[in-house]
Amino acid sequence: MPHSPEDKKRAITRLRRIRGQAEALERAIAEGSECGAVLQQLAAMRGAVNGLMADVLEGHLRESFGHADCAVDSLDDPEHARTHEAIDEISSLVRSYLK
């Protein structure tokens, strides 16, 4: 769950975009749009949901390991740097999987 005001705002903005996409998809289906157009809208929605999921998961990882607000200076600590790098690597893997 996003905790900072900036993260909450970003998540809500994404959700509103997804809601708009869902409403457009509903209209397209009701109007009998071509399958290709419907599939394209579905893919866009899936990408938006996956992006939101990746953001929330990354925030969760950073919060769970106590590094959500870490300062760049603290990367001088080898243990902190390793944890930060591991979270970055996991986040990158998840984002690539969700594409």
pLDDT at 67: 55
* CA gap 15, 49 in Å, rounded: 8
pLDDT of 69 above 80: no
On whether the CB atoms of residues 28 and 73 are closer than 8 A, the answer is no
**24: Cβ–Cβ under 8 A, 6 or more apart, which residues?**
41
pLDDT digit string, tens, across residues 12-62: 999 999 999 999 999 999 999 999 999 999 999 999 999 999 888 888 888
pTM of the full structure: 0.74
